[in-house]
Amino acid sequence: MLAAVASFAVGCNTSEEYPEYKYQTRLVKQAFLNSEITVYQGKEVEIQGIGFVVGDKIVFRTEDGTEYTAEVVTVDDASAIFLAPDMPQGQYTIYITRGEKEQKVAPVTVWLTLSLDVPQKEGYSLRGIVHVGDTGIANVWVSDGVNFTQTDEQGFYWLKSDKRFGYVFICLPSGYLPATGTNAVPGYWKAVSIDANLYEQCNFELKEANTANHQVFFAADLHLADRAVGPNSVNDLKQFDLGFIADTKALAAAYGENTFLITLGDITWDAHWYKTGFMPANYVAKMKNYPLMIFNCMGNHDNNPYVRGDNNGSKIYRTTVAPTYYSFNLGDVHYIVLDNIEWINTNGSNGFVGERDYNERVDEVQLAWLKEDLSHVADKSTPIVVCSHCQFHTNRNSSFKVQKHMQNTTEVLACFDGFTNVHIMTGHAHYNMTMEINNNIMEHNVGATCETWWQSTSSSLLEGRGICRDGTPAGYAVFEFKGKDLKWYYKSIGFDKSLQFRAYDMNNVMRERWTSALSTQEPARDTGGDDYADLEDNVIYINVWDYDSQWKIEVTEAGNPNPLTVTRVFDRDPLHTATTDVILGKVGSLIEGYASTRTAHMWMVITEEDDTDLTIKVTNRFGEEFTQTLTGRGRRNKFDTTKYFQ
């Protein structure tokens, strides 16, 4: 027998700046079906909504008018149960009908999988099978975000669940990938009803896949909102397509196979959900045909700005995109996705965007789940990759010291005691930081895909290129695993992977008098707008955005037999200042969050003369060399920002 997976989103009225969240409500108010559900013919399926009556019909209709109809068999104050019809895989629009009346709900995608009956056990509200074809897979961990169980020798599982989060997921075992769902929403998880007394069967169909060697792209802070931004008023989705989508497709094609995408939160922009109508379901629809399988992570901007409280705020995301936290395996690597945003949203209510405030921490329920998940990893040399939105640490200070950032960083890191190879992947800051926490743990705080919230105004903006607040080009991190061996790099959008730093002759920069454009933009500026007034002559700045302690930076000057002294400095990137701060400052829209930030990965050398040839060689921890030459004649040129985007 076949089972189905259905997904759809409810639209909203956008006629006001922050309209009340209105529904298409002739028959049923607040009609909502979880975006990913697993059913088989005749299975009880819950659809949420106020006003259902027994006998209402749930109609799945194709473009050519073919219909598959289910009948509502039970109702309560906020939902109804219907029995899933026997229907083929395909695209549908779902309707509620009552007599002659009909209410359109939303488009639906139906996926089919084998339905294998699993015996029901008293007290276990969730059950199912993890299988390839008609063969069950033993010893797969299954969780609802609180409790765990493991499949038996037949691939069957039973789970006692209060269904507080409305989903169940598997810890994808090594050697397999989901066989159902889309690349945007792979079938490693299933949404379930919110009724703990309802016994449900959720099956997981997998396919065999050798992922021992694989690549992962880590993309932070997409901030998609379908809006025109910046002085050039370019739509963010257009920039995203021309930049990130085009760049990652090309790089993935070059790798050939086993390439995956992990987002690091803020895939949407909550402040604009009810203005432009671009919500998590729109992100899912946009990425449905993306060629890479995506594992998503939730950010603060992916919470519902109309509701208060963490569980309420994440509901749309976790019923549309993914669980808020989960784990999976690719090859020899164990990946863990955590949600370290605790949503508060003071004063939020229907029709009113709240303060959108939050705590940066991993809550106690999730912390207990994390400890249990890690207890299942027997080999402590297993590479662990932890993905979360908010950074655990920061080194953005004049002493370049790594400092704890998240409220309970210490408690979270204690969970990894004994593990010898842990990498933490985070976003949120819109700048790049690679930090060695101790001998066993590194954190990679990844620059933003949306750079400065799509505000960057370089000459190549329409090609999807931009620049983050610390001078890091818009881009993403790349991990290359061969078994347990790892190499990584930061990939700048629109450029070859060899672009790992930029060098600036500050004589040319200081000839630009930006003070008038920046001085009125306090508190974004703490220098009165004259950032480099104290620099002496003949200074070269070198921004090495993925720097860690095992990198080397060497500069030689023509005619000087000795290498120049390279000094780490804490200062702003002049390219971001010129292409973003100055432009926004002139129109009075430079806010603190957009302004250039001092960075811990800036370096300085001082040359003897202002017209000597310089050779800059940067070597990363893997022994790969990157070079740039500054010619004597070129050093006297005007500070031309366009050349940095060619």
* Residue where a domain terminates, one of 492, 524, 542: 492
Same domain, 511 and 564: yes
Cα(532)–Cα(540) distance, rounded to whole angstroms? 12
* Structural domain contains residue 17: yes
The pLDDT of residue 460: 53
When pLDDT is averaged across residues 514-541 and rounded to a whole number, the result is 79
Confidence of residue 231 (pLDDT cuts 50, 70, 90): confident
Residue 157 lies in a domain: no
| 342 phi, psi to nearest 5 deg | -105, 105
Is residue 313 within a helix (H) or strand (E), and if so which, with residue range?
helix 310-313
User: What pLDDT was estimated at residue 43?
Assistant: 75
Please tell me the predicted confidence (pLDDT) of residue 2: 36
225: its two tokens: 């909102």
Rg (CA), the chain: 26
Digit-coded pLDDT (tens) for 473-523: 999 999 999 999 999 999 999 999 999 999 999 988 877 767 766 776 666
pLDDT in tens, 122-140: 999 999 999 999 899 999 9
Statement to judge: residues 265 and 302 lie in one domain: yes
**Do 456 and 466 form a contact (C-beta atoms < 8 A)?**
yes
Phi (first) and psi of residue 42, to 5 degrees? 90, -5
Three-state DSSP class for residue 13: coil
Distance CA 604, CA 612 (A): 16
Asked if 618 and 592 touch (Cβ cutoff 8 Å), the reply is: no
Question: What is the structure's pLDDT at 9?
Answer: 33
What is the DSSP secondary-structure string of 62-90? Answer: -TT--EEEEEEEEE-SSEEEEEPP---SE
The better pLDDT of the pair 358, 111 is held by 358
Residue 289: CA atoms inside 13 Å, Cβ hemisphere, count?
Answer: 2
Phi and psi angles of residue 236, each rounded to the nearest 5 degrees, phi first: -65, -35
Using pLDDT thresholds of 50, 70 and 90, give the confidence band for residue 270.
very high
Band of the pLDDT at 17, cuts 50, 70, 90? low
Higher-pLDDT residue of 116 and 537 is 537
Q: What is the DSSP string of 16-73?
A: SSS-------SS-EEEE--SSEEEETT-EEEEEEES--TT-EEEEE-TT--EEEEEEE
Task: Say if residue 623's pLDDT is above 80.
Answer: yes
Q: 514, 533 in Cβ contact below 8 A?
A: no
Q: Give me 175's structure tokens.
A: 């050697």
| Closest CA relative to residue 320, chosen from 82, 4, 10 | 10
* Alpha carbon separation from 302 to 297, 356, 358, 360 (Å, rounded): 10, 11, 12, 14
Give the CATH number, domain containing residue 10.
Answer: 2.60.40
Residues 245, 464: Cα–Cα separation, whole Å: 9
Helix-strand-coil split of the chain, %, nearest 5: 15, 35, 50
Residue 547 lies in a domain: yes
Decide if 155 is inside a domain. Answer: no
Residues 6+ apart with CB under 8 A from 154: 129, 136, 138
Query: What's the mean per-residue pLDDT of the chain?
Result: 89
Contact 400, 452 (CB under 8 A): no
Please give the pLDDT value at position 24: 42
Residues 427 and 523 in one domain: no
- Write the secondary structure of 371-419 as one string of H (helix), E (strand) and C (coil): HHHHHCCCCCCCCEEEECCCCCEECCCCCCCCEECCCCHHHHHHCCCCC
Model pLDDT, residue 243: 93
So what's the pLDDT on residue 35? 56
Contact partners, residue 340, CB within 8 Å, separation at least 6: 360, 361, 362, 388, 389, 390, 392, 406, 412
Contact between 459 and 423 under an 8 Å Cβ cutoff? The reply is no
Please check whether residue 373 lies inside any domain of the structure.
yes
Angle at 233 (CA atoms; ends 231, 235), nearest 5 degrees? 140
Q: Domain holding 470: CATH number?
A: 3.60.21.10
Residues 169-195 pLDDT 10s? 999 999 999 999 999 999 999 998 888
pLDDT of 3 > 50? The answer is no
- How far apart are alpha carbons 146 and 149 in whole angstroms? 10
Tokens of 73: 């068999």
Is the bond preceding 178 in cis, omega lying within 30 degrees of 0?
A: no
| φ, ψ of residue 359 in degrees (nearest 5) | -100, 150
Three-class secondary structure of residue 133 per DSSP? coil
Residue 428 in any domain: the answer is yes
Which pLDDT score is estimated for 116?
67
Residue 131 lies in a domain: no
Tell whether 526 is covered by a domain.
Answer: yes
Q: Given this model, what pLDDT does residue 86 score?
A: 87
Please tell me whether the peptide bond between 523 and the residue prior to it is cis, using omega within 30 degrees of 0. Answer: yes
Please indicate, yes or no, whether residues 436 and 583 belong to a single structural domain of this protein: no
Q: Give me the residue label for tokens 């010893």.
A: 139
508 and 482 in a single domain? The answer is no
Residue 269 in 3-state DSSP?
Answer: coil
Q: Please determine, for residue 13, whether its predicted confidence score (pLDDT) is greater than 50.
A: no
What is the reported pLDDT for 457? 64
Listed in sequence order, the residues at least 6 apart from 414 whose beta carbon sits closer than 8 Å to its beta carbon are none
Q: Are 341 and 349 in contact (CB under 8 A)?
A: no
Asked whether 279 and 268 are in contact (CB, 8 A), the reply is: yes
Of 468, 492, 516, the position where a domain reaches its end is: 492
pLDDT tens per residue across span 441-464: 999 999 999 999 998 865 455 567
**Range in 140-144, 542-546, 591-595 with the lowest mean pLDDT:** 591-595
**Residue 39 corresponds to which amino acid?**
V
**Binning pLDDT at 50, 70 and 90, where does residue 39 land?**
low
| 608 vs 165, higher pLDDT | 165
348 and 226, same structural domain? yes
Domain containing 580 equals 502-645
Rounded-to-integer distance, Cα 466 and Cα 454, Å: 8
Question: CA 159 to CA 150: how far, in whole Å?
Answer: 9
Among the candidates 492, 523, 557, a domain finishes at: 492
| Residue 324: its H or E element | none
* Helix (H), strand (E) at residue 112: strand 101-114
Range of weakest confidence among 75-89, 434-448, 608-622: 75-89
Query: Which of 190, 331, 350 is closest to 257 using CA atoms?
Result: 331
Shared-domain flag, residues 487 and 516: no
Number of domains composing the chain: 3
Tell which residue, 138, 159, 274, 253, has the closest CA to residue 206: 138
pLDDT at 21 over 80: no
CA quadruple 110, 115, 118, 119: dihedral sign = positive
Looking at the fold, whether 299 and 236 belong to one and the same domain comes out as yes
- Please report the pLDDT score of residue 108 as a whole number: 75
Do 508 and 383 belong to one domain? no
pLDDT tens readout for residues 293-345: 999 999 999 999 999 999 999 999 999 999 999 999 999 999 999 999 999 99
Reported confidence tier of residue 117, pLDDT bands at 50, 70, 90: confident
Answer yes or no: do 411 and 525 share one domain: no
Rounded distance between C-alpha atoms, residue 238 and residue 246, angstroms: 11
| 484 and 537 inside one domain | no
Q: Give the C-alpha distances (Å, rounded to integers) separating 163 from 196, 200, 490, 592, 645.
A: 6, 11, 39, 41, 50
Ranked by mean pLDDT, the top range of 72-76, 109-113, 423-427 is 423-427
Q: Are 393 and 419 contained in the same domain?
A: yes
Average pLDDT over residues 586-606: 91
Residue 25 has pLDDT above 70, yes or no: no
**What are the distances in angstroms from CA 463 to CA 241, 467, 474?**
9, 13, 12
Q: How far apart are CA 502 and CA 622, in angstroms?
A: 19
Q: What is the pLDDT of residue 450?
A: 95
